[in-house]
Amino acid sequence: MSELPRRQLNRIARERAFLDAALQCFAANGYSGTTMDQVAEAAGLTKPTLYQYFPSKETLFARMMLEKRDAMLQAFAAPDSGEMVQQLHSFAWRYADTVMQPMMLSLARLILAEVQRFPEIGRAYQAAGPDQLLDALAGFLQGQRAAGRLRFEDPELAAEDLWGLILSAPRTRALYRPDLALNRTMLARYVTNGLQVFLRAYSTNPEADLSRLQTLKTPKAAEVIHDA
């Protein structure tokens, strides 16, 4: 495989620097409290350069959130080999490793604090992150239903059930208790139980799928996920 031209590599590196800086600034200052000047300074680059990549704070925020979504959806990117349980397990841990990051939790707390005064911030967060992820997850589940592996009537409700079962309780605790420490074993308890409940409710062959789930190991703690 040929290497990318240096100019393209530099562009990728600058974009990465801006996105990392954006998460740092949004998590520290909230959406309304973050400025493009702050992001450029945190990235160690100039504001005009930032605007070459992202013409507004809105587009920067949306790109940052969509990147997180895409990282989680990599679990479903491989050609369908019938390994639905493995894909659901991979998604569950990618989801956990993304939304339980301290900066992502901090961002969510600040968004919650801002929405009463600035409802458009909540709408932007929802549209750029959770709504996009929910639509993609529902699409994956529909594909599994068409293949005869799942049964349900409403794909959106099925997706919301999966989402909620995986991590709703520990994430809610973490949002309201910043000092709460959840180790890998604690998270695995929720993730595994959530997948078990989901498969019992929706799988067309729950016994086989639950047996397959038992063979899957908890992955090592991930660094901040950009791509995989």
Domains parsed from the chain with CATH numbers? 64-214 (1.10.357.10)
pLDDT tens, residue by residue, 74-131: 767 665 555 999 999 999 998 888 889 888 888 889 888 888 888 888 888 888 778 8
pLDDT tens-digit map of 21-41: 998 999 899 888 999 999 999
pLDDT at 228 over 50: no
Q: Is the pLDDT of residue 222 over 90?
A: no
pLDDT given at position 70: 78
- Please give the pLDDT value at position 127: 80
pLDDT in tens, 132-184: 888 889 999 999 999 999 999 999 999 999 999 999 999 999 989 888 888 88
Confidence at residue 8, expressed as pLDDT on a 0 to 100 scale = 82
Spell out the SS3 assignment of the chain.
Answer: CCCCCHHHHHHHHHHHHHHHHHHHHHHHHCCCCCCHHHHHHHHCCCHHHHHHHCCCHHHHHHHHHHHHHHHHHHHHCCCCCCCHHHHHHHHHHHHHHHHCCHHHHHHHHHHHHHCCCCHHHHHHHHHHCHHHHHHHHHHHHHHHHHCCCECCCCHHHHHHHHHHHHHHHHHHHHHHCCCCCCCHHHHHHHHHHHHHHHHHHHECCHHHHHHHHHCCCCCCCCCCCCCC
